[in-house]
Structure formats: structure tokens, C-alpha cells
Structure 1
Amino acid sequence: MSLHPAAMPLVSVLIPAFNHERFVQRCLDSVLEDPYPSKELIIIDDGSTDRTGERIADWVATHCMELPIEYVRRENRGIAATLNELVARASGEFLRPGASDDYLLPGGLDAQVRYLLAHPCRGAVIGDSVVVDQDGNKVHDSGMCDLHGANKALYRSDDGIRRAVISQWAIGGPVALIRKSALDTVDRWSEGLRIEDWDLFLRLAARDALGFIDVGVCAYRLHGTNLSKTRHTATRIVNLVESQHVALRRASLFGEPYRTLLHAQSHYIGAKISFLQRRLYPLVLHMVAYLWLIVVSKARPASTHPDVEAP
């Protein structure tokens, strides 16, 4: 699709920042460096207790004449509430949620915008990431394949995307470009959740609103404080319990066999919880239920549309 730069739709790059004083400048520099011509930058420091806020303020003072920037610093309200506030402040047709420890790769915005312009039925498109360490050294070429062991072929059809989002969610880093109007259809991020992205993408996948391009659109940084990579057992259990509740809550959005697959996934998550708690009997029960539901899902005829929808 060929468009004059002046005709390219506005992209709102949304950065929720929290305690990333070491990484946030690289994140903000990458927004400036990306050649996509029509963009605005909105940043909320979500109550950082280190020097993240000062680093952002210094950067904004230096670069405020180079692109439209809005910067808000306030008390901590959590990632989902911060993302929702960023969306409310955004003027763009397309939204690019980021993370203050990761950074954009040049050309990613352009590729994702062109995909959504060419596929008006899609509410969002995800890409891949490269994985870097805390010093910016490349660790993996593909976050999806090398970090999460995903089969990218799954993401090339609606059926595959639904299956991947349900059972092999392999998104490393903030790799989505979202049509702002899509959030009017599926609501925004569910406040109170710690791992909020799976819940949103389940809702998008249930409506066949999610697309994929095999392009590296961001660098996902691995370091000691990644929420999704924590090794702290109690925190992992809390995250898994939350994921199990999300699976059960969103199952009714899907028709078969995907609804049964989500129930199977809830038992698989339950098995992980039991393993971390060293409870052998519940682990075995969850695994038996998981395997049985996988078999049942294969016998159920496909039905894209559910009978009821969860609130």
C-alpha cells in the first residue's frame, strides 16, 4: 500500500513507565529514531520510586520540539489502569503500547500500520521481537521461537491464532499495534490484573480481530525484574492463579472447540500451581482433566460463535 507520508494515520506510542531508570532513555530514543512520520508519544510514570521520572523529564525537555509529547507523573495505580489512562489521552487512530524497559525497532510501526490499513477487519496486529539482555546485547533473534518455542505457522490463520492465544501464548515484549476503535468493541485492559495482555488478546482472538506479521517490531529486554519471568515461587503462583481465572472467565467468549481448549488450559495452569505447591494429588487430577479435555476438543465440531459472552 503506497501512501504519502503526510497521509499516514497518526500512531500514539504509549509508554507506561515504572522503575526503569536504567532503560527508559533507550526506550524513548527508539520512538524518536523510528522513521514512521506520523506519531505522538504519551508517557505516564506510574509512581516510580527510583530516578525514572527524572530521566523522562530530562528527555522530554530535550526532545519536546521534535514530536508531540505528553508526560504525566503520578502515584502508582498499576499497569492496566495506566494503559487505560494512556489510551484515554491518545489521539491516534492506532495505538502502540510499549514498555519502559523495551524499545522499538526501526520500521516496525510502518509495517504494522500498513498491515492494518490493508486488513480493515483486524483490530490489532502482533509482530515478533528480538530478545536482548540488560546491556542491550542480542540473546535471541526471535522472542516467539527462541524464547517461547512457538510455531509461527499457527499465527497465519484465524484458527491457528485462536489456538495459539489459548494454549501457546508466545508474545515476548510489547509487539502489538491496536486499532483504537477495536478497544471500543472489546473494552480496554482489565484493571486489577498483573498479567493483563493475555486477557486482552483472548478477547480480540475470540472476535477474529487479531493478525500477525513475521517482522521484528521491538527489542524485548530480559533482566532481573521482568514480571513474567520471575523465579519467586509465591509470585509465580499468584500470576498463575490469575491466569487460571482469566481462562475460565473468557471461555464463554469462544465457540467450540476453543471453549473446551480454554477449560483444558485452566487445568494445565492448575497443574503448574500444584507443582509449585508440591501437591502431587491435585497435580495428577489437573493433568488427567487437561488431557481428557484436549481429547474432547478434537471430537467437537468447530463453531466460531459462542452461545453467550462473558461480561
Structure 2
Amino acid sequence: MKVSVIIPAYNAEKYIGRCLNSILQQTYRNLEIIVLNDGSTDKTASIIKSYVEVDDRVTLIDKKNSGTYLTRKLGMQSSTGESIFHVDADDFLELNAIEILVNEMIKASLNLVIGNHFHIVKGKKRIVKNVLPENQSKIELVKSLLNNDIKGYVWGRLFKRELINNLDFEAENLLQEDFLINLHVFINNDMRIGVVDSPVYNYIIHPNSANSSKNPVFIENVINFNQIVEKILYDAKFDKELVREFKLYKCRNWVIYARMGGKLTRDKKFVNNFYKENYTEYSVRNLAAYQNLEMLGYRYNYTTGQFLTRSFKKLQEVLF
């Protein structure tokens, strides 16, 4: 089975070498590696070219900047593998990552294999795991996605080509394109999913990560994204069955939005209405303890919420 590895790269000169080395050293060799330079203004393109010259599995596509989703989409359209594996340019793989995923896909006749991952902050690792529902119906999978049992990333998982090759939706100036891809895949396909327990992917958190964005358009679109998800659930006729899960999802999004300084966090009327509608008993029960504390902080006022966010960030750096 040929695996197409898709890597969007924007101003990734500090990380792209480590990323490509981890892919070229994979124990699974039947790879097509497509690196898309998304309008970088640093040395990203020249670094990628040096890899193209020494390994014919690597292809470079230079393009104007268009964001992660459209860049991934071009990479998929340009690929020829039977399955597709996404990697972000600042992350890297465990040595046998792709071999583990391919073996599981073939052995169990799956169309998606999800790898767990390491979450790395300042060199300190912790494992993040995905949990599948016993019943893999479309609605149960979407429920698991909203509940965050299945993480909303596309990297670190092996997709059969037919699941994502023809994705076509608008995703401009969004931080949650990956979640949207998973949502469309789960709703529009009969899924056979497996999870490999071993972490296969190293996800690096650093100041330039997407969730550290200061772009006000991206920030406000975090809260606007709820409307996009709501319409997808409505069109799939899942909205009435997933009311509490969607409210929980909106609370998680609210914490992200508030951390980034979204302007609605200072609108007391909006905040009160949002909490009254969405911060339900189910949401409280299923949010992590630190998320509940942040929810309470931002409900009181923005300054208190920011203090708690900074405190938890420092604690995370110490503990992990």
C-alpha cells in the first residue's frame, strides 16, 4: 500500500528538517511525500528542495498562501497513494508510526486508523488518547467527536483515500479546519475505525501554534464556527439527538476563544446568555476541572478568566 504523506509548510524553517527526517527514516518505505510551501517568506522552500535532491519520494509544491485546509486539499489532489497521512511541518513522527498504522488498517480491513500522540510543551511529554464508541454508527462517532473522546485533528491518522479525496467545503480563516474534516468524514461515510494504543505522533506546542494566534479574524471565527457546526448537524438531522453534546462542544470552544481574548468575553449580556444556554450539568460533568475553573473565571469577568488561564499554563509547564 502506497501512503501519501501531506505536509503543509508555512515559515517552518526551524522545524521542517526535523519533520522530514522523521518521515524519511520511517520503517515503512512505500511513501509519497508531498510538501506544500504555502507562500513562506523564510528559508522553508530551500530546505525542502535540499530533501527533494536526495530522496525521490519527496515532492515540493510551491503555492501562494491560502491557509492549511486549502493547502492540504491541493496536496491530496496531487497525491496518488491508496491512503493519506497528514503531518504538520512543526511536528514529527515516531520511527515506526506509519508501519503500525498500515498494519492495523490491513489486518482489520479499516478505512481509518487513529494514532494516539504525545503532546509536547517545552520538551515535556504527555500522552493524549482517543476513545472509540462501541457502536460506530454515524451519530455515535459524531457524538464522540463533540465530546472530545475522538480528537478533532487530521494529523497522526491514516485515512483511506476515498474518505477525504473529494472533500469540498468553505473553510476560510478558521482554526478548526481539522475538526470540520473529521465531521464531514464521519457524517458522509460508513466508517470502520481502529485506534492504535501506542503514540505515533509528536505534537509540539510553541508560541507560533495556531491557538496562539493574535489575528482578530481567526479569533472571532472561533466563536462563529459554532454556527457552521450547528448547520452541519441540522442538515444531517443529528441536531435534536446531540443537543447536550453540542452545548458541551460550544463550552470548550468558548474557553479557547476567551483565552485568545475574543471581544465577546467583555459583553456581559452575551456571556450571561451563553452560559445560561450552554453551561449545563452535562457540560460541567464532562469538562476537565481546569476548563470548569476557567469557565467560572470568564463568567465572573475577563480579567479573572485571564488570570486563571495564565496560572494553568504555568502549572502545565511545571507538571508536564
TM range (shorter): 0.7 to 0.9
TM-score, scaled to structure 1: 0.75
The yes-or-no answer on 1:36 pairing with 2:28 is yes
Residue 136 of structure 2 corresponds to 158
The yes-or-no answer on 1:109 pairing with 2:98 is yes
The yes-or-no answer on 1:59 pairing with 2:51 is yes
Residue 260 of structure 1 corresponds to 243
Superposition RMSD in Å? 3.0
Amino acid at match of 2:274: H
Amino acid at match of 1:26: R
Aligned-pair CA distance for 1:154 = 4.9
TM-score, scaled to structure 2: 0.73
The yes-or-no answer on 1:143 pairing with 2:100 is no
Q: Distance in 2 between matches of 1:270 and 1:291?
A: 12
The yes-or-no answer on 1:221 pairing with 2:204 is yes
Any conservation in 2 of the 1:129–1:219 contact (CA below 8 Å)? yes
The yes-or-no answer on 1:283 pairing with 2:266 is no
Aligned-pair CA distance for 1:250 = 1.7
Question: Structure 1, residues 29-81: CA drift from partner, whole Å, max 9, x if none?
Answer: 111111103111111101001111111112222333xxx22211122122111
The yes-or-no answer on 1:70 pairing with 2:59 is yes
Residue 158 of structure 2 corresponds to 177
Q: 1:167 aligns with which of 124, 147, 156?
A: 147
Aligned-pair CA distance for 1:262 = 5.3
Aligned-pair CA distance for 1:99 = 0.9
Residue 85 of structure 1 corresponds to 74
The count of corresponding residues between Structure 1 and Structure 2 is 271
Q: 1:212 aligns with which of 195, 212, 217?
A: 195
Q: Give the SS at the match of 1:101.
A: coil
Residue 298 of structure 2 corresponds to none
Gaps of 5+ in 2: 284-320
Aligned counterparts, 1:179-194, within 5 A: 179-183=160-164, 187-188=167-168, 190-194=170-174
Structure 1 residues 167 and 33: CA distance shift in structure 2, 3 A:
same
Structure 1 residues 132 and 292: CA distance shift in structure 2, 3 A:
closer
Q: Give the SS at the match of 1:142.
A: strand
User: Sequence identity of aligned pairs in percent?
Assistant: 18
Structure 1 residues 126 and 86: CA distance shift in structure 2, 3 A:
same
The yes-or-no answer on 1:47 pairing with 2:39 is yes
Q: Give the SS at the match of 1:36.
A: coil
Gaps of 5+ in 1: 1-8, 145-151, 296-311
Residue 149 of structure 1 corresponds to none
Q: Give the SS at the match of 2:266.
A: coil
Q: Distance in 2 between matches of 1:199 and 1:113?
A: 24
